Structure 1
Amino acid sequence: MKVLLASNIHPAAIEMLKEKVEVVEAAGASFEELIEMISDADGVMVRSKPKLTKDVLEHAKHLKVIGRAGVGVDNIDVDYATKRGVIVVNAPEASTTTVAEHAFGMILSLARKIPQAVANVKRGRWDKKKFMGTELRGKTLGVVGLGRIGSRVAEMGRAFGMDIIAYDPYLSQETAQKRGIELLDIDEVLKKADFVTLHLPRTEKTAGIIGNHAFKIMKNTAYLVNCARGGIVDESALKEALSKGEIAGAALDVFEAEPPADSSILDFDSLIATPHLGASTVEAQENASVTTARDILAVLSGEAPKNPVNMPVFAPDVMERLNPYIGLCENMGKFAIQLTSGRVESVEVVYCGSLRDLKEKGLLTKTVLKSLLSPILLSTINIVNSELIARDRGIKVIQGEREDAEDFASMIILTVKSDEASLELKGVVLGGMHQKIVGIDGYSLEIVPSGNILLVKNEDRPGIIGSIATTLGRHGINIGSMQAGRKKLGDTQIMALTMDQEISEEALTALSLVDGVLSVKATKN
Structure 2
Amino acid sequence: MAPKVLISDELSDAAVQIFRDRGIDVDFQPKLGKDKDKLAEIIGNYDGLAIRSATKVTAALLEKATNLKVVGRAGIGVDNVDREAASKKGVIVMNTPFGNMITTAEHAIAMMFAVARQIPEASASTHAGKWEKSKFMGVELTAKTLGVIGAGNIGGIVCDRAKGLKMKVIAYDPFLSDEKAEKMGVEKVELEELLKRADFITLHVPLTDSTRNILSREALAKTKPGVRIINCARGGLVDEEALAEMLKSGHVAGAAFDVFSVEPATENPLFNLPNVVCTPHLGASTSEAQENVALQVAEQMANYLLDGAVENALNMPSMTADEAKVMGPWVKLAEYLGAFIGQMTDEPIKAINITYDGTASGMNLKALDCAVVAGIMSRANPDVNMVSAPVIAKERGIQISTTTQDKSGVFDGYIKVTVVTDLRERSIAGTCFSDGKPRFIQIKGITIDAEVGRHMLYTTNKDVPGIIGTLGTLLGKHKANVANFTLGRSQAGGEAIAIAYLDEPLGAAVVADLEATGLFQQVKPLEFSIR
For the aligned pair, the TM-score class normalised by the smaller chain equals: 0.5 to 0.7
1:356 aligns with 2:355: yes
1:206 aligns with 2:211: yes
- Aligned partner of 2:197 among 188, 192, 199: 192
What is the alpha-carbon distance in structure 2 between the residues aligned to residue 82 and residue 208 of structure 1?
26
Contact 1:88 1:309 (C-alpha < 8 Å) held by counterparts: yes
- Aligned partner of 2:181 among 176, 181, 196: 176
- Aligned partner of 2:20 among 9, 12, 18: 18
Contact 2:355 2:417 (C-alpha < 8 Å) held by counterparts: no
Flag the 1:319–1:133 CA change in 2: closer, same or farther, 3 A: farther
User: What secondary structure sits across from 2:135 in the alignment?
Assistant: helix
What is the alpha-carbon distance in structure 2 between the residues aligned to residue 242 and residue 87 of structure 1?
42
- Aligned partner of 1:155 among 131, 154, 160: 160
Aligned to 1:445: none
Which amino acid is 2:175 matched to? Y
What is the alpha-carbon distance in structure 2 between the residues aligned to residue 207 and residue 213 of structure 1?
13
Aligned to 1:498: none
Aligned-pair CA distance for 1:231 = 2.1
Aligned-pair CA distance for 1:32 = 5.8
Contact 1:146 1:167 (C-alpha < 8 Å) held by counterparts: yes
Aligned to 2:104: 99
Aligned to 2:276: 271
Contact 2:356 2:403 (C-alpha < 8 Å) held by counterparts: no
Aligned to 2:128: 123
Contact 1:3 1:42 (C-alpha < 8 Å) held by counterparts: yes
Contact 1:365 1:399 (C-alpha < 8 Å) held by counterparts: no
Contact 1:196 1:225 (C-alpha < 8 Å) held by counterparts: yes
What is the alpha-carbon distance in structure 1 between the residues aligned to residue 48 and residue 258 of structure 2?
33
- In structure 1, list runs of 5 or more residues that go unmatched: 324-351, 368-381, 384-397, 403-409, 413-427, 434-525
Aligned-pair CA distance for 1:290 = 0.3
User: What secondary structure sits across from 1:135 in the alignment?
Assistant: coil
Aligned-pair CA distance for 1:51 = 3.2
Which amino acid is 2:15 matched to? A
Flag the 1:322–1:307 CA change in 2: closer, same or farther, 3 A: farther
Aligned-pair CA distance for 1:62 = 5.0
Superposed CA RMSD: 3.9
User: What secondary structure sits across from 1:188 in the alignment?
Assistant: helix
What is the alpha-carbon distance in structure 1 between the residues aligned to residue 100 and residue 341 of structure 2?
35
Aligned to 1:296: 301
Contact 2:145 2:200 (C-alpha < 8 Å) held by counterparts: yes
What is the alpha-carbon distance in structure 2 between the residues aligned to residue 73 and residue 196 of structure 1?
24
User: What secondary structure sits across from 1:266 in the alignment?
Assistant: coil
Which structure's CA Rg is the greater one?
A: 2
Which amino acid is 1:243 matched to? K
Contact 1:4 1:37 (C-alpha < 8 Å) held by counterparts: no
Aligned-pair CA distance for 1:84 = 5.8
Aligned to 2:118: 113
Which amino acid is 1:106 matched to? M
Contact 1:6 1:46 (C-alpha < 8 Å) held by counterparts: yes
Aligned-pair CA distance for 1:288 = 1.2
Aligned-pair CA distance for 1:85 = 5.4
Aligned-pair CA distance for 1:366 = 8.7
Contact 1:5 1:24 (C-alpha < 8 Å) held by counterparts: yes
Flag the 1:236–1:34 CA change in 2: closer, same or farther, 3 A: closer
Contact 2:304 2:310 (C-alpha < 8 Å) held by counterparts: yes
Aligned-pair CA distance for 1:193 = 1.5
User: What secondary structure sits across from 1:177 in the alignment?
Assistant: helix
TM-score norm. by structure 2 comes to 0.59
What is the alpha-carbon distance in structure 1 between the residues aligned to residue 56 and residue 352 of structure 2?
44
Contact 1:140 1:192 (C-alpha < 8 Å) held by counterparts: yes
Flag the 1:60–1:168 CA change in 2: closer, same or farther, 3 A: closer
Q: After the TM superposition, which residues 59-458 of structure 1 pair with which residues of structure 2 at under 5 Å, given as runs?
A: 63-78=68-83, 86-260=91-265, 263-311=268-316, 317=336, 355-356=354-355, 362-363=365-366, 430-431=421-422
User: What secondary structure sits across from 1:45 in the alignment?
Assistant: strand
Aligned-pair CA distance for 1:320 = 6.0
Aligned to 1:6: 8
**Range with bigger deviation, 216-225 or 106-115:** 216-225
Contact 2:62 2:89 (C-alpha < 8 Å) held by counterparts: no
Flag the 1:192–1:52 CA change in 2: closer, same or farther, 3 A: closer
Deviation string 1:373-406 (CA, Å, 9 cap, x unpaired) is xxxxxxxxx99xxxxxxxxxxxxxx96579xxxx
Which amino acid is 2:150 matched to? G
Flag the 1:68–1:318 CA change in 2: closer, same or farther, 3 A: farther
Deviation string 1:441-500 (CA, Å, 9 cap, x unpaired) is xxxxxxxxxxxxxxxxxxxxxxxxxxxxxxxxxxxxxxxxxxxxxxxxxxxxxxxxxxxx
Deviation string 1:133-182 (CA, Å, 9 cap, x unpaired) is 22212221111111111111111101111111111122111210111001
**Range with bigger deviation, 55-64 or 97-106:** 55-64
What is the alpha-carbon distance in structure 1 between the residues aligned to residue 280 and residue 341 of structure 2?
44
Aligned-pair CA distance for 1:131 = 1.4
User: What secondary structure sits across from 1:134 in the alignment?
Assistant: coil
Contact 2:337 2:417 (C-alpha < 8 Å) held by counterparts: no
- In structure 2, list runs of 5 or more residues that go unmatched: 318-327, 343-350, 371-385, 388-401, 407-415, 425-531
Aligned-pair CA distance for 1:355 = 3.6
Contact 1:215 1:246 (C-alpha < 8 Å) held by counterparts: no
Contact 2:102 2:157 (C-alpha < 8 Å) held by counterparts: yes
Aligned-pair CA distance for 1:108 = 0.4
Flag the 1:250–1:65 CA change in 2: closer, same or farther, 3 A: closer
Aligned to 2:348: none
Contact 2:101 2:153 (C-alpha < 8 Å) held by counterparts: yes
Aligned to 1:376: none
Aligned-pair CA distance for 1:356 = 3.3
User: What secondary structure sits across from 1:129 in the alignment?
Assistant: coil
Number of aligned pairs?
357
User: What secondary structure sits across from 1:250 in the alignment?
Assistant: strand
Deviation string 1:220-248 (CA, Å, 9 cap, x unpaired) is 23211111222221122212211221121
Flag the 1:198–1:62 CA change in 2: closer, same or farther, 3 A: closer
